[in-house]
Structure 1
Amino acid sequence: MQLRAEPVTAEAFAPFGTLVLPPEAPGERAFYTQWLGATAQDATPRLHVNFVPQSMLPITATVLERHPHAAQIFLPLEASRYLIVVTPSLPDGSPDLARARCFVAPGNVGVVYRAMTWHMGATALDAKAHFAVCMWRNDRDDDEFLTLTEPLELLAESKQ
C-alpha cells in the first residue's frame, strides 16, 4: 500500500492525538496536561531523549507500534522535518491500514500520540534529529509492535 506524505495540520491529526504547537505571542502558554497520565496503576512518568538518523523518502514501513496505557509525546529538540505515520485501529485492535495517514511535521511542532494509536517510530527527514520523549510507563505491556504483512510505501509530498 502506498501513502503520500502531506503537511500535518491539527485537524487532520486530531483522530490520532494532538500537535504540540508553540504559543503565538510572548508570554502565552499552551497546556497539554490532559494528555498526561496512564491507565496502568503502577505507571510512572518517563522522559528520555533519542537520536534519530536522517531518512529520505520513499521509505518502506514494515513495523508499527502502539502504547496501550498512555499517550506518547515527542518534542523536537533538534529537527528539520520529520515524518508521522499513524493509523486507527479496527474493532479487533489491529491497525486499519486502509485509513493510514502519512504526515510531514516541521521541526518546531511536537506530537502527542493518543494511547492505542498505531504509529511508526520517529523518522527524521533532511537531517538527523533529537527528540525528547515523555510517557507514563510501567515495566510491562507498554509497547506493542506489529510487523506488517504488507509494508507501507511512504512517498514524498506531491508537488503542487
Structure 2
Amino acid sequence: MTTLTLELLTKEAFAPFGDVIQIDGSEWFPINNGTTKRYHNLGRVEVTGEGGLPIISMCRGDAFQLPVEVKMLERHPLGSQAFIPSSGAPFIVVVAPNGADDKPDESQLKGFIVRGDQGVNYHRGTWHHPLVTLGCEGDFIVVDRGGPGHNCDEVQLSQVYLIESAPALA
C-alpha cells in the first residue's frame, strides 16, 4: 500500500484536471443594480455526444473518516462534472492524468483537500475518485452531462493508495 499525501486545493495546482470554483480571489462584476456581485465563468461545462445536454443535480455524500483507501478511479468521456458543496462540507479529490494505455497514470496521482467553500469542475475525461466527504455528510450541487451514451469509465488501480492525514484547512 502506498501513502498518498493530500495538498491544499489551489487553482494553479488543479488546472491540469479542471477548474476550482470559488469566490475568494476571483474577479466579479456588479449585477441587480449593484446589490449582487457576480463571480462569472468559474468553470466551463463541457458536453459532447449525440443528445447530450448539461444538467444540474444534487447529491448527498456519506461522511468518511481518515484513513481512506483509494482503489479505483472513474472518468466521464462525454462531459465535465462539477461538485459544489451547498452545506459547507470539506471533501477529498484524487485525480490522475491519462496514461499512454488510456488508463490513469498512477505515477502522477494527486490528492487535494477541498474547503467547504470551494468546488471542483473536472474537465471532460479527467480520471478522478468518487466523492469523499470528509468528517461529515455533505450536500453538493452537481453540474454534468445528461442524455444517451456511455459516460462513465471505471478502472481498478494497480495498488491501493492510502490517505492517512489531511493538511489543516484555513
If the length of structure 1 is used for normalisation, what is the TM-score? Answer: 0.90
The answer to whether the Cα contact below 8 Å between 2:72 and 2:154 also exists between their aligned partners in 1 is yes
Show the 5 A alignment for 1:18-97: 18-22=19-23, 27-32=36-41, 35-97=44-106
Distance 1:75 1:33 in 2: 11
Q: CA distance change for structure 1 residues 33 and 125 in 2, over 3 Å: closer, same or farther? A: closer
Amino-acid identity (%): 26
**In proportion to residue count, which structure has more helix?**
1
Distance 2:167 2:56 in 1: 35
Q: Which residue of 1 aligns with 2:16?
A: 15
* Backbone CA RMSD of aligned residues: 2.0
Higher mean displacement: 39-48 or 118-127: 39-48
Q: Structure 1 residue 144 and structure 2 residue 153: aligned?
A: yes
2:141 and 2:148 mapped to 1: Cα distance?
A: 20
- What letter is aligned with 2:14? F
Alignment partners' CA distance in 2, 1:30 and 1:23: 10
The one of 140, 151, 162 aligned to 1:153: 162
Q: Does 1:4 align with 2:13?
A: no
2:92 is aligned with 1:118: no
Aligned partners of 1:33 and 1:60: how far apart in 2?
30
CA distance 1:72–1:2, change in 2 (3 Å)? same
Q: Which runs of 5+ in 1 are unaligned?
A: none
Deviations 1:68-126 (A, max 9, x none): 01110111011331101111011221001110111001101111001111001111112
In 1, are the aligned partners of 2:46 and 2:124 still within 8 Å (CA)? Answer: no
CA distance in 2, matches of 1:49, 1:34: 17
The secondary structure found in structure 1 opposite 2:4 is: strand
Q: Is the 8 A contact 2:20 2:42 kept in 1?
A: no
| Greater Rg by CA | 2
The answer (yes or no) to whether the contact 1:85–1:102 under 8 Å persists in 2 is: yes
* Structure 2 length-normalised TM: 0.85
SS state at 1:19 partner: strand
